[in-house]
Chains A and B, each alone.
Chain A
Amino acid sequence: DTAVSQTPKYLVTQMGNDKSIKCEQNLGHDTMYWYKQDSKKFLKIMFSYNNKELIINETVPNRFSPKSPDKAHLNLHINSLELGDSAVYFCASSPQGGGYTFGSGTRLTVV
């Protein structure tokens, strides 16, 4: 049983398209996150949700819109994709103040 699963694993798309990444966790954690890892492996927080409520929204273009239908799911929709959006996007979850469990990542390539 995968603890944090995200789909798709790979996403290749053209500039200007809209795409979504889905994430689900079966750990019963209250908090979920989206991180972006760039080509230099730097992990940067994008969003954090606690029990479906947005609690962190870092300086991210408003083309990125997270949605949490319930505390086990956190999806990420990206509009008007740009070349600079190419990265690996990781979903993660944690109990309150606890260690993170990451999904396997979605490698997004914008061409």
Chain B
Amino acid sequence: GQSLEQPSEVTAVEGAIVQINCTYQTSGFYGLSWYQQHDGGAPTFLSYNALDGLEETGRFSSFLSRSDSYGYLLLQELQMKDSASYFCAVRDRGWQAGTALIFGKGTTLSVSS
């Protein structure tokens, strides 16, 4: 079966650094994505890793190790507005085969002052 595991909750203080891990077991792998969702809002795209290594976008970075079926989202200089749910997602089939993202169950990040 397909599964993505990520911690259910993480807490941190403003200004800190937090890492949200994601391990996946899928029949195929065509990239790991991260999405942010505030309460009552829609998921929004944060980052995408198709190849091993680190991708940096401002305060957020995402890492992938395909050999370990593992990735993480790193959030630096945390702000109160970063309090949200974070989802890792995997595309398990190539585009031609018809595909949709499989989402993890989400990690709720709470940032306190």
Interface residue ranges, A against B (CB under 8 Å): 33, 35, 40-45, 48, 50, 55-56, 90, 96-97, 99-105
Contact = CB atoms under 8 A, between A and B. Distances in A.
B95 A55 contact: no
B102 interface: yes
B101 A100 contact: yes
A interface, by DSSP: helix, strand, loop or mixed? strand
Given A99-B33, A104-B41, A33 B105 contact: no
Interface residues of B, number: 23
Interface of B: 30-31, 33, 35, 37, 41-45, 48, 85, 87, 91, 95, 98-103, 105-106
27 contacts: A40-B105, A41-B37, A41-B85, A41-B105, A42-B103, A42-B105, A42-B106, A43-B43, A43-B87, A43-B103, A43-B106, A45-B100, A45-B102, A56-B98, A56-B100, A90-B43, A97-B31, A97-B91, A97-B95, A97-B99, A99-B45, A100-B43, A100-B45, A102-B42, A104-B41, A104-B42, A105-B42
A41 B106 contact: yes
A55 B42 contact: no
A103 B95 contact: no
A43 B106 CA distance: 9
